[in-house]
Copies of this chain bind each other. A is one copy, B any other.
Amino acid sequence: MPNRPTSDLLAALEARLGPRGFTRDADAMAPWLKDWRGRVEGAAAALLSPADTDEVEAIVRLAGAAGVAIVPQGGNTSMVAGATPDADGASLLLSTRRMRTIRSVSSQDNVAVAEAGVILSDLHEAANGIGRRFPLSLAAKGSATIGGLISTNAGGTQVLRFGTMRALVLGIEAVLPNGARFDGLSALRKDNRGYDLRQLLCGAEGTLGIVTAASLRLVPAAAARAVAWVGIERADDALGLLRRLEDAMGEAIESFEIIPAEGLALVLRHIAHTRAPLTDPHRWHVLIEATARAGAPSPTDALEQALARAIEEGHAADAIVAASESQAEAFWRIRESLSEAERIDGFAAKHDVSVSVSVMPWLLEDGAAEVEARFPGVRVLGFGHLGDGNVHFNVRAPIGMDSKAWLADQGDDISAYVHDLVRAKDGSISAEHGIGQLKRAEFARTAGATRLHALQAIKQALDPQGLFNPGKLLP
């Protein structure tokens, strides 16, 4: 059990960090004590905002000597309250927001070195500035930070081609619980010197180390993109379509997102200035983005031809390739507005799950039907990254019911049922959001003894006092 900080410790931290790096002011702290989804409110003894890695090291040493816990926080956009301290107020909240330097960007190495507090969209801009891009993006890009993206092994819409954050991290600098700096920033494409600590820190949710900077992989800028909206009748067709497109266009296919008819209807109902891309209704829709690098032929012709063949072969019912960048943006807007439209429509039991790609059609159709049969009246809305086997499987209240009361009453049972369904297919109860606080109990229930034991042994080995982000991930 971590200690509450003494006034001596707080004074030492204040002296080390100065007025910009230390505050206990309630108003200044308030926005960072509540999680992004507004479901958890925590408290902290102080908000620390170190300016650099030396200051992070100093904080960890002082807190470690006093047995006081530290909760690291980046953009505070966790979907699972992974950066919100416990309500007891005994922890120190460590924000990386002042560590916003992009130390270097290199088109020779195809690497950017960014501090933990660098905001994703700033990194995108820096990469674009040298004719490269950082190929990971998500809705929260204007506030999500590099440190948070690494600690949660973030996904997004380009995983199909480029993988999750862990595939893009070439080096990590971090401060470990014992106060030592792990200097693994060198961007080595190959390095077989034992257990890969970089990979261990990726997705560890700040429980094993505080990431202070990272070397990140850049790829050539995309010079052109083609965006298509496709109507299909069975989820199974979507998978056939994806493999068909990959055969025809290879790695040019970057995004492949599935949206059910109900999802499109919700967006059209609740989000201004949206319209259905196709005239006829379809059971499912797929949003596809293909890109081409500078000098390569535009991907539009290839995508149009491949889709025409897919329609002939029965993998798709209808399709339209955006004729302009504004139409492409309109297609994407539908996908990106789905969560908001759903929120406006009412509360839902939300699940971020993954299965093998070939099991996705089953989950979207048969799995959804099982849930709807077990909880009569509920409506499953499954959408997301079909090519990654990752679906946002949201269960909405029966029509006419107060969705908030329904969720409070039924939410846990429904979630347990959905997670069991996914686990029975060897899937994951957290595809991209992590465990944090909100999924901790379900993780403990479903993880199995072997995995839990191994994770706890590693945590105990690297953080024997349990001071790094307590109350997250592990039971």
A27 part of interface (Cβ distance < 8 Å): no
Chain B residues positioned under 8 Å from A365 (CB to CB): none
Given A110-B357, A250-B293, A193:B430 Cβ within 8 A = yes
Interface residues of A, count at CB 8 A? 89
- CA–CA, A200 and B197, complex, Å: 8
Q: Report the separation of the CA atoms of residues A294 and B244 in the bound assembly, to the nearest whole angstrom.
A: 12
A355: chain B residues at CB < 8 Å are: 186, 188
A383 CB–B CB distance under 8 Å: no
Do the beta carbons of A192 and B458 come within 8 Å of each other? no
Binds B, one of A48-56, A176-184, A333-341: A176-184
Q: Does A247 contact B (CB under 8 A)?
A: yes
Residues of B within 8 A of A325 (CB): none
B residues near A178, Cβ cutoff 8 Å: 453
Residues of chain A from 188 to 208 with CB closer than 8 A to chain B in the complex: 188-197, 199-200, 202-205, 208
Contact partner, A188, options B109, B354, B455, Cβ 8 Å:
B354
Which of these, B176, B185, B193, contacts A435 with CB under 8 Å? B193
> Considering the complex, which residues of chain A in the window 444-475 have a beta carbon less than 8 Å from any beta carbon of chain B?
447-451, 453-455, 457-458, 460-462, 473-474
- A194 nearest CB across to chain B (Å): 5
Would you call A6 an interface residue if the criterion is a C-beta within 8 Å of the partner chain's C-beta atoms? no
A152 at the interface (CB under 8 A from B): yes
Whether A239 and B294, one on each chain, are in contact in the complex, defined by CB atoms closer than 8 angstroms, is no
Q: How far is the CA of A111 from the CA of B473 in the complex (A)?
A: 29
Contact A196–B202 (Cβ < 8 Å): yes
Evaluate contact between B251 and A197: CB separation under 8 angstroms: no
CB-nearest residue of chain B relative to A236? B108
Copies in the complex: 2
Is B192 touching A208 in the complex (CB atoms < 8 A)?
no
Enumerate chain B residues within 8 angstroms of A192, measured Cβ to Cβ.
152-153, 155, 203, 428, 430-435
Whether the Cβ atoms of B357 and A450 lie closer than 8 Å is no
Contact A109 B357 (CB under 8 A): yes
CA distance A462 to B196 in the complex (A): 15
A127 beta carbon closer than 8 Å to chain B? no
Q: Does A107 contact B (CB under 8 A)?
A: yes
Min C-beta distance of A465 to chain B, whole Å: 13
- Are A388 and B189 closer than 8 Å at their CB atoms? yes
Interface pair A458/B462, CB less than 8 Å apart: yes
A378 within 8 A of B: no
Name the residue on B nearest A160 (C-beta): B189
CB neighbours (8 Å) of A250 from chain B are 220, 293, 296
A166 within 8 A of B: yes
1/0 per residue, CB under 8 A from B, across A358-382: the answer is 1000000000000000000000000
Are A190 and B428 in contact (CB-based, < 8 A)? yes
Q: In the complex, what distance in Å separates the CA atom of A189 from the CA atom of B250?
A: 18
- Interface pairs (11), CB distance under 8 Å: A109-B358, A166-B199, A188-B355, A188-B356, A190-B432, A193-B428, A193-B430, A196-B200, A196-B203, A197-B451, A247-B293
Seed contacts A188-B389, A194-B204, A194-B455; 8 additional CB < 8 Å A-B pairs? A152-B192, A153-B196, A184-B451, A187-B356, A188-B354, A190-B431, A191-B430, A192-B428
